[in-house]
C-alpha cells in the first residue's frame, strides 16, 4: 500500500500568512548569517540543516488521504486537499484509474468541502464510489451542493456515481488482497475510522480522524485494543495540546499527549499526528511534535515511532 497525505488541517483551511512567511524568511536569513553562507554551492547543505519548521510547510488544506494498492485507488475524506489531488489526477490521467473509491469518515464541513472542486467529479470517464457508515450519505452530499450553496449540484455532474452504506459489522473486500474494516468514533454527530488490512503481508493501516480519546478509553475499553492493536501505521487526530484539550472537552478531538498514550497502549508501530489546529503555526506544530517525542520517551517506550503529518507525505506499507 502507498499512502499519501493531501490535507492535514482540522476544522478550517489554514493557509500560510504573509506574517508567518516573513518570519520564516527572517529566521532562515539569521541561520545563513550564523553559518556564513556565501556560496551558491552550499545552499542545499545549508537548507538540510535548518530546523523542521523552516524546512517544511505543514500545509493548510483540510483532510484528504489516498491509499493506492495493486488493484484499487482509495480516497479517505474530501476536505480541501482533494482539490489538489483532483488537479494531479487530471494532469496525469494515465497514472490513475478511472474508478475511484471514496470513504467518508463523517460529513462535517472540513471533511467534504473540497468535493465540489474535485475535477474527476465532472468528467464522464470517471466512476466514483462513495462509502460511509451513514446510510444517508447520498442525501448529505446532495445537500452540500444544493443550488442555494453551490452552482453545480452533484447529481448533475458528468461522472458516474454510486453510494454505498458501509455496514461496520462486516468487513468490506473490494479486492482479493485488501480487507477494509470500520469502527465508530466518539465525535459530535458521529464519525467512522477505516482500517485497511493487507492480507498478503498482514500489514495494517488505520485512519482515525475526528475522535476524542481519554484515559478511560485506552485503559478500559477492550474494543479499542481489538481494533487498533498492533497497527503498522495509525493516522490519528491529535489536534490539541493537553492543556487545550481540558478546555475543549466533548469537542470531539484528541491531544497529542493522549494520542501517544493510546498508541503506546495499543502497541502501534508508527503514529502519524494529524488534524492540526488551524490556529497553530508551523513553529507551534513542530514544537508540539518535539514534545510528543519527549512524552513517549518519558513513557520509556521506543514505539510508536512518531511523525507529524505534512501535505505531500508518502508512506509505504
Domain limits for position 49: 18-55
Do 146 and 294 lie in a common domain? Answer: yes
- Does this model's pTM top 0.75? yes
DSSP the chain: -EEEEEE-B-SS--PPPHHHHHHHHHHHHHHHHHTT---GGGHHHHHHTS-HHHH-----PBPEEEEE-SS-EEEE--STHHHHHHHHHHHTGGGS-SEEEEEES--SGGGTTTGGG-GGGG-TT-EEEEEESSTTHHHHHHHHT-TTT-SS-GGGSSSEEEEEE--TTS-EEEETTEEEEEEEE-STT-EEEEEEEETTTTEEEEEE-S----HHHHHH-HHHHHHHTT-SEEEEE--B-HHHHHHSTTSS--BHHHHHHHHHHTT-SEEEEESB-TT--HHHHHHHHHHHHHHHHHTT---SEEEE--TT-EEE-
Q: Is residue 263 part of a domain?
A: yes
Tally the domains of the chain.
Answer: 2
pLDDT in tens, 146-167: 999 999 999 999 999 999 999 9
Do 186 and 66 lie in a common domain? Answer: yes
pLDDT value at residue 76: 98
Do 28 and 90 lie in a common domain? Answer: no
- What is the pLDDT averaged over residues 260-282? 96
Residue 269 has pLDDT above 90, yes or no: yes
pLDDT value at residue 217: 75
Do 173 and 35 lie in a common domain? Answer: no
Residue 220 has pLDDT above 90, yes or no: no
Residue 11 has pLDDT above 90, yes or no: yes
pLDDT value at residue 38: 87
Do 32 and 153 lie in a common domain? Answer: no
Residue 273 has pLDDT above 90, yes or no: yes
Do 40 and 61 lie in a common domain? Answer: no
Q: Is residue 270 part of a domain?
A: yes
pLDDT in tens, 92-121: 999 999 999 999 999 999 999 999 999 999
Q: What are phi and psi of 212, to 5 degrees?
A: -115, 110
Do 268 and 170 lie in a common domain? Answer: yes
pLDDT grade for 247, boundaries at 50, 70 and 90: confident
The cell for 101 is: 473509491
Q: Is residue 317 part of a domain?
A: no
Residue 215 has pLDDT above 80, yes or no: no
Amino acid at each position: 500500500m502507498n499512502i499519501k497525505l493531501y490535507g492535514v488541517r482540522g476544522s478550517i483551511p489554514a493557509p500560510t500568512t504573509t506574517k508567518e512567511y516573513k518570519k520564516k524568511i527572517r529566521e532562515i536569513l539569521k541561520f545563513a548569517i550564523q553559518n556564513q553562507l556565501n556560496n551558491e554551492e552550499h545552499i542545499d547543505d545549508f537548507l538540510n540543516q535548518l530546523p523542521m519548521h523552516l524546512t517544511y510547510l505543514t500545509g493548510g488544506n483540510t483532510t484528504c488521504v489516498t491509499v493506492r494498492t495493486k488493484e484499487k485507488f482509495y480516497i479517505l475524506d474530501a476536505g480541501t486537499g482533494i482539490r489538489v489531488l483532483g488537479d494531479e489526477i487530471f494532469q496525469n490521467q494515465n497514472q490513475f484509474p478511472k474508478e475511484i473509491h471514496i470513504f467518508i469518515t463523517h460529513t462535517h464541513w472540513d471533511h467534504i468541502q473540497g468535493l465540489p472542486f474535485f475535477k474527476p467529479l465532472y468528467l464522464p470517464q470517471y466512476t466514483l464510489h462513495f462509502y460511509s457508515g451513514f446510510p444517508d450519505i447520498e442525501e448529505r452530499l446532495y445537500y452540500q451542493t444544493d443550488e442555494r450553496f453551490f452552482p453545480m449540484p452533484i447529481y448533475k455532474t458528468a461522472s458516474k456515481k454510486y453510494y454505498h452504506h458501509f455496514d461496520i459489522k462486516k468487513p468490506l473486500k473490494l479486492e482479493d488482497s485488501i480487507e477494509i474494516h470500520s469502527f465508530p468514533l466518539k465525535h459530535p454527530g458521529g464519525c467512522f475510522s477505516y482500517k485497511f488490512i493487507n492480507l498478503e503481508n498482514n500489514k495494517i493501516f488505520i485512519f482515525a480522524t475526528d475522535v476524542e480519546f481519554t484515559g478511560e478509553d485506552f485503559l478500559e475499553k477492550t474494543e479499542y485494543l481489538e481494533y487498533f492493536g498492533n497497527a503498522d501505521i495509525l493516522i490519528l487526530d491529535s489536534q490539541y495540546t493537553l492543556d487545550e484539550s481540558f478546555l475543549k472537552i466533548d469537542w470531539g478531538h484528541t491531544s497529542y499527549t493522549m494520542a501517544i498514550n493510546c498508541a503506546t497502549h495499543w502497541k502501534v508501530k508508527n503514529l502519524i499526528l494529524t488534524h492540526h489546529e488551524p490556529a497553530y503555526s508551523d513553529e507551534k506544530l513542530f514544537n508540539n511534535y518535539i514534545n510528543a517525542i519527549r512524552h513517549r520517551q518519558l513513557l520509556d517506550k521506543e514505539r510508536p515511532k512518531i511523525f507529524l503529518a505534512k501535505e505531500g507525505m508518502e508512506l509505504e506499507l
